Chain A
């Protein structure tokens, strides 16, 4: 079951998610699927990006849950502090 899910998620990452985040120099890697929870790592422009949470929850998670309804949650396993080229950097208003 988990392997099936992994395959489906990986296909979605390859076909839709990575082409989308590539626009900001980013990429997403599947780390694992456990108990219908998908663990992802973000890299490139997404790693350390100020908008990474929006991308993950409003973009990636919604898309995955829409396409693969058995997925319960998408979680970010990225070390954002190690990002060296984030697309957006946080600062004071």
Chain B
């Protein structure tokens, strides 16, 4: 490995799905990695130059720890791989004087209420919203709400704790249910995120996700994913993502423009973003812009230029290297995040080979292990696994994903 290849600090929570992809990307790029997690690796005493333990809930202390580390082992870039690490990554980058999103911008993007407020102030279309303190008189607040509405935690991701309420009774029940979820998540969340919720208007319509890369304040739309399964509640389980989008070109352009406006309003200027939007006859509404890349193993659907992964793009950009191409491959691709049908203990998985044999299926990966407790939404935080497909058209990709999924059977006791 050349010393000039760059040394990069990767912030990897021990529970992230994203480790393999980022570590592989660093290997391909010849980047020297320093990995930080919130819990110590058993190898840390043997490899103190490449493994670090940080408290991701304390960005200031983490920045000081890394500043000390960097005096001994200078760092060229810092990348947080998912929601838990975006704020810490910004704090460390700021402390080291590295090019990155500003700490205030990332902090706002991490707080759904602050983000809504900033976007609304900037005229970016968002659902009507208000903050609900869990200490409020929920019955009284329920009488003030227009229904249907959505209640969601301020800082969790991937639809965890997101519940639709159609009336006051459901509103109060949903608030109590989310409160219990926040209790279980506990100290990994900022204090504010443990005592308040976001309540927002339910926007009927289709939902899409835009994966983008900000370079010097310019948003490059890398992929627009359709989510063909309806997301009407009461819970909002993400299942299928397919790209390219089948939406008309003018709507795709509006989505990109609104997302660009949202990034600008939030002050995000560098690195990956993952945006979620709802669409209807009134146009696109921004639900979220996160300063991170797509979650789970979903980035496996994306390759660029001559076969670069999304993570290779992200690391190259962070190190200030020239980006070979931001052009996604021509074929349609997609992923199904395999939903958890009910709570219990996973006893066995059947049909994996049969699912993988479906035409256009690239891969079926089961990420939960036999004997593991499985928890569906809204409390759950994991998927059973992922199915990946690649075909000539988005329709063929979607069909392949559904066919493969139908061949899987999960014994849950």
Q: Which residues of A contact B (CB under 8 A)?
A: 16, 20-24, 26, 48, 50-51, 53-55, 57-60, 62-63, 81-86, 88-93
| Contact digits for B1-20, partner A, Cβ 8 Å, 1 yes 0 no | 00000000000111111011
Check if A93 sits within 8 Å of B367, measured CB to CB: no
Neighbour of B372 across the interface among A54, A59, A82, A89, CB < 8 A: A89
A45 to B160: give the CA distance in the assembly, Å: 27
**Which of A53, A57, A83, A92 counts the most chain B CB atoms within 10 A?**
A92
Neighbour of A55 across the interface among B33, B43, B383, CB < 8 A: B43
Neighbour of A88 across the interface among B15, B23, B50, B296, CB < 8 A: B15
Binding site secondary structure of chain A: helix
Minimum Cβ distance to chain B for residue A1 (Å): 24
Check if B82 sits within 8 Å of A93, measured CB to CB: yes
B141 at the interface (CB under 8 A from A): no
Query: Contacts A54-B23, A90-B15, A92-B381 given: A84-B370 contact, CB under 8 Å?
Result: yes
Check if A59 sits within 8 Å of B42, measured CB to CB: yes
The 6 lowest CB-CB distance pairs between A and B, nearest first, are: A59-B43, A92-B158, A93-B83, A91-B382, A88-B14, A91-B381
Q: Which residues of B contact A (CB under 8 A)?
A: 12-17, 19-20, 23-24, 27, 33, 35, 37, 39, 41-43, 45-47, 50-51, 82-84, 156-158, 160, 295-296, 365-372, 381-383
Minimum Cβ distance to chain B for residue A73 (Å): 9
Check if B43 sits within 8 Å of A58, measured CB to CB: yes
Residues of A within 8 A of B16 (CB): 50, 90, 93
Residues of A within 8 A of B381 (CB): 91-92
Given contacts A50-B14, A51-B14, 11 further A-B contacts (CB under 8 A): A20-B42, A53-B19, A54-B19, A55-B41, A62-B47, A81-B366, A85-B371, A89-B368, A92-B295, A93-B13, A93-B158
Check if A62 sits within 8 Å of B42, measured CB to CB: no
- A62: nearest chain-B partner, CB-CB: B47
Residues of B within 8 A of A93 (CB): 13, 15-16, 82-84, 156-158, 295
Residues of A within 8 A of B50 (CB): 58-59, 62
